[in-house]
Amino acid sequence: MESGRLTRAERFLLACNELGWGDGTKNGLWFFGMEERLPWEPGQESRIEDHYGHDKYFRDREVESALYGEGRKYPKRDFKPSDGDFVEAKICAELSTSRMPENDILKNIVNVMPGTGIAHGNLYPLGKPGWKSTFPPHYLDLFGYGPGDMAQYRKDVARHRFPRIRDARKELSPKAIVCFGVGCWPEFREVFGLSGPADPKRPVYEEDRVILAYHWSFNNLKEADIQWITVKLKEWGVTVP
């Protein structure tokens, strides 16, 4: 018997609707990864429904505070910056019109502060230990997908989530999108409609303002790659406050 108000299929669709977190305003800078990194624990059905139960593309400070602020329903979440957060802060410090220090940008990213012009999304919404990992058994109760259901899950995400990513892009008109994770380059090309010739090691789609990069895990993304991304964004006139 499931707890919570929704079925597991409905919880999966809720998770698909939230593309990520950050300042999802118009004309911002998007960073997209392969999948969410934070997993859900057994018995968190109601928390999942509350967490994803908003109608915004990106979970912003208002949504975060309503759920996890002082005296709210759930304990305040104390996030530690990921390696990806450090990479994004390093890039954005070079793009900041106010010359905001890298550490201050990092704090704003981690605390989902408004006015940053930075949003963070993932192709796949459900967190697990690693990209090649299978789902834990309790995800069958939470979302309807167990350890042997990865192929079906990815098909369902493409059907339900990818169109929402396209809708968000059309509505919010990001200045540029930086996508991390060579394992998902085909999916990034699909969801953002990318085609035509591109450098096989550093694909850039000038008209679409999309960069495909290696993932920051296991030192795949080198310092030279970070500098290359930064220079390209500057060429496109991309700035953040």
Say if CB 162 and CB 155 are below 8 A apart. no
Domains, the chain, ordered by start: 8-235 (3.40.470)
* CA 23 from centre of chain: 12
The pLDDT assigned to 70 comes to: 64
How confident is the model over 98-104, as a mean pLDDT?
95
Distances in Å between the Cα of 65 and the Cα atoms of 68, 77, 113, 132, 149 are 5, 10, 10, 33, 34
Other CB atoms within 10 Å distance of the CB of residue 39: 16
d(CA 155, CA 157): 5
Q: How confident is the model at residue 64 (pLDDT cuts 50, 70, 90)?
A: confident
Say if CB 178 and CB 211 are below 8 A apart. yes
Is the pLDDT score of 84 beyond 70?
Answer: yes
What is the per-residue pLDDT across 3-39, written as a single tens digit (0 to 9) for each?
A: 679 999 999 999 999 999 999 999 999 999 999 988 9
> What is the DSSP track for 106-162?
HHHHHTT-TTS-EEEEEEE----S-TTPPPPTTHHHHHS--TT-HHHHHHHHHHHTH
What is the per-residue pLDDT across 231-241, written as a single tens digit (0 to 9) for each?
A: 999 999 999 99
Token pair of 42 as six digits: 């057994």
Q: How confident is the model at residue 198 (pLDDT cuts 50, 70, 90)?
A: confident
Say if CB 60 and CB 23 are below 8 A apart. yes
